[in-house]
């Protein structure tokens, strides 16, 4: 498939700021024209003096015109850059918002499949690299291109030979730059790959610092880190060394416009073709384009940076979306039914994690999913919450296929609490209120009490107003779990899924939480995945899952009597419990 051009991608995000961009371009053009006026003033003044009898009034007039135009040039340039900066930041904002929306709509697997380092790199750093060149490219590229063109046209009007002589260095420099740029695309791609690798290693080093310290791996991890940084330095130096001779040659030759204009101008002057004032103005103007020409060459590099960043963004924006319905459906009951569900994370039949599972999770009942680790319990829970779509078969809620239920309605219908409880860096009260943004403080406190977190929250320095820290890092695993359960209680949705939601909670609190969950979820559809079997032994229905298939289902007593896997798991659990607690409970 042909890649879209980066400029068209950038401008697809510029809908709200088109007018500003156009105005910025116009101001840049006015600024360039105003920048030429002082040269005209100098020409007029020289003409006055060369004529032998300068009229001082005219000289002064041209001085003021030149000065005024010089000031105007900066005013319009300022307006142009301000507008282009606003446009660039608007484009950046739109890109980031689109990326965030796209990640929300993509299947969770696609998002989790990407490394945090890479996502952060694209969303923050790569998008940021677009701003500066984008903001400056509009006004500066225009003036840097327009000015030499305008000067060239002016020189053609004076004498076409002067115009051509001004450009004598361009083909020489062009050959040098062309040789330098021969492998630019490949080298830039390698550079970006190297850059991404260093980024990944740095993020891994920082994120894994706890494990590195715990396993005393600081020297080996540091070695990997140092090696990555060092090889990146070697790579960039090597690239620089391979180009610096040609680059310096080009940079030295290109601005030397005098090489052509001085001898040709003098020759034409001695021939009597060129007046002295025309000679002077041609020399001054040919010097005036040196800066813009040099600036223009730096944009080649910057444009490449933008091009790569924009294509990275586009790649992330092209990830597939979960198909979503627009209109809410009327759900009258909330039983869940899995019909012949098959699923694999990589969408291949060979790696099916679930194979043709059919089961009923009735409304108003407590259903538990148990089985050896890796059997597919969490996968079933995630499929019901539609983090992924099933590969085959269907899941219905109240008789409606969940693919026909809008994602936002499904999110309102299902509460899902997992082991990984992410807390945002806002107060604990607000973290709980995420379950129901309309809830009053009293309702938040009541939910926290029911989830057994009221006590520890009140012991914190600022109680409910204590900040949770980044990703809740000020709280223990068990505390975070209880806050997530409070969130779920506050959400009060008709379907509740708890995936090892109390695994980190101590036994005393776990029993309390179980009791309040049982009370609060009366009449709801409750699905619990639990490792500690004692917490689910009162379930109305227990489903035993092994290697992606349903082995058996029934009550605790029925399974103990009929299913050897369940019996073994129960005995192992009781043994472990007795061993850890030294108690006789559960026999």
Residues of the shown chain interacting with ligand ADP in the complex, contacts defined by CB under 6 A: 109, 112, 345, 353, 371, 373-379
**C-beta of 169: minimal distance to ligand ADP in Å?**
59
- CB closer to ligand ADP out of 260 and 376: 376
Q: In this structure, what token pair is assigned to residue 419?
A: 């082991």
Q: Which residues contact 473 (CB under 8 A, 6 or more apart)?
A: none
Using alpha carbons, select from 88, 166, 169, 97 the residue that is nearest to residue 131. 88
Interatomic CA distance for residues 301 and 553, integer angstroms: 65
**C-beta of 563: minimal distance to ligand ADP in Å?**
17
- CB closer to ligand ADP out of 35 and 371: 371
- CB closer to ligand ADP out of 76 and 388: 388
**C-beta of 393: minimal distance to ligand ADP in Å?**
16
- CB closer to ligand ADP out of 133 and 548: 548
**C-beta of 373: minimal distance to ligand ADP in Å?**
4
- CB closer to ligand ADP out of 354 and 450: 354
Using alpha carbons, select from 43, 41, 40, 39 the residue that is nearest to residue 277. 43
Interatomic CA distance for residues 332 and 356, integer angstroms: 27
- CB closer to ligand ADP out of 73 and 532: 532
**C-beta of 347: minimal distance to ligand ADP in Å?**
11
49, containing H or E segment: helix 18-50
**C-beta of 344: minimal distance to ligand ADP in Å?**
8
Q: In whole angstroms, what separates CA 402 from the centre of its chain?
A: 29
- CB closer to ligand ADP out of 344 and 521: 344
Q: What angle do CA 423, 429, 430 make, to 5 degrees?
A: 60
Q: In whole angstroms, what separates CA 504 from the centre of its chain?
A: 32
Helix, strand or coil, per DSSP, at residue 537: coil
- Max CA-CA distance within the chain? 122
**C-beta of 381: minimal distance to ligand ADP in Å?**
8
**CB neighbours (10 Å) of residue 315?**
11
Strands (E), 226-348: 336-343
- CB closer to ligand ADP out of 253 and 341: 341
Interatomic CA distance for residues 130 and 303, integer angstroms: 9
C-alpha distances out from residue 152 to 147, 167, 169, 275, 542, Å: 8, 9, 14, 18, 85
Residue 582 gets the label, from left (phi > 0), alpha (psi -120 to 50) or beta, of left
- CB closer to ligand ADP out of 311 and 546: 546
**C-beta of 403: minimal distance to ligand ADP in Å?**
20
**C-beta of 569: minimal distance to ligand ADP in Å?**
12
Backbone angles phi, psi at 358, to 5 degrees: -125, 125
């Amino acid at each position: 498939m042909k890649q879209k051009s980066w400029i068209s991608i950038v401008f697809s995000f510029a809908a709200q700021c088109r007018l500003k961009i156009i105005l910025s371009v116009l101001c840049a053009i006015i600024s360039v024209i105003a920048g030429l006026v002082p040269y005209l003033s100098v020409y007029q003044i020289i003409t006055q003096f060369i004529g032998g009898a300068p009229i001082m009034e005219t000289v002064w007039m041209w001085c003021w015109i030149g000065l005024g135009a010089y000031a105007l040039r900066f005013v319009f340039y300022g307006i142009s850059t301000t507008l282009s900066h606003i446009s660039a930041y608007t484009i950046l904002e739109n890109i980031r918002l689109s990326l965030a929306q796209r990640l929300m709509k993509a299947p969770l697997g696609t998002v989790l499949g990407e490394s945090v380092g890479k996502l952060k790199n694209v969303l923050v750093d790569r998008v940021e690299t677009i701003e500066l060149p984008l903001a400056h490219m509009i006004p500066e590229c225009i003036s840097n291109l327009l000015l030499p063109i305008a000067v060239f046209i002016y020189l053609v009007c004076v004498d076409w030979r002067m115009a051509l002589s001004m450009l004598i260095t361009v083909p020489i420099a062009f050959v040098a730059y062309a040789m330098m740029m021969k492998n630019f695309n490949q080298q830039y791609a390698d550079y970006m790959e190297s850059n991404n690798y260093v980024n990944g290693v740095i993020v891994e080093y920082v994120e894994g610092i706890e494990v590195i310290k715990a396993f005393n791996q600081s020297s080996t991890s540091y070695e990997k880190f140092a090696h990555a940084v060092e090889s990146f330095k070697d790579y960039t130096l090597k690239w620089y060394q391979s180009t610096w001779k040609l680059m310096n040659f080009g940079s030295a030759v290109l601005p030397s416009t005098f090489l052509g204009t001085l001898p040709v101008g003098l020759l034409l002057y001695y021939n009597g073709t060129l007046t002295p004032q025309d000679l002077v103005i041609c020399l001054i103007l040919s010097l005036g384009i040196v800066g813009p020409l040099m600036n223009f060459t730096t944009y080649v590099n910057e444009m490449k940076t933008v091009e790569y960043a924009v294509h990275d963004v586009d790649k992330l924006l092209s990830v597939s979306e979960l198909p979503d319905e627009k209109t809410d459906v009327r759900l009258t009951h909330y039983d869940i039914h899995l019909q012949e569900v098959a699923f694999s994370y990589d969408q291949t039949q060979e790696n099916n994690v679930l194979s043709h599972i059919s089961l009923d999770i009735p409304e108003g009942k407590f259903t538990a999913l148990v089985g050896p680790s890796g059997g597919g319990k969490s996968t079933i829970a995630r499929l019901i919450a539609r983090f992924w779509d099933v590969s085959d078969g269907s899941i219905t809620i109240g008789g409606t296929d969940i693919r026909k239920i809008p994602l936002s309605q499904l999110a309102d219908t299902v509460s899902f609490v997992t082991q990984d409880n992410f807390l945002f860096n806002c107060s604990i009260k607000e973290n709980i209120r995420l379950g129901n943004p309309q809830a009053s403080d009293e309702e938040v406190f009541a939910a926290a009490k029911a989830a057994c977190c009221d006590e520890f929250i009140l012991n914190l320095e600022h109680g409910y107003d204590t900040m949770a820290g980044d990703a809740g890092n000020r709280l223990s695993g068990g505390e975070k779990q209880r806050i997530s359960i409070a969130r779920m209680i506050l959400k009060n949705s008709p379907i509740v899924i708890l995936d090892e939601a109390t695994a980190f909670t101590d036994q005393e609190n776990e029993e309390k939480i179980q009791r309040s969950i049982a009370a609060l979820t009366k009449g709801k559809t409750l699905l619990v995945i639990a490792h500690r079997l004692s917490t689910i032994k009162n379930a109305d229905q227990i489903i035993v899952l092994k290697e992606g298939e349903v082995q058996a289902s029934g009550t605790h007593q029925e399974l103990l009597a009929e299913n050897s896997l369940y019996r073994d798991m129960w005995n192992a659990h009781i043994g472990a419990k007795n061993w850890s607690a030294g108690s006789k409970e559960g026999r």
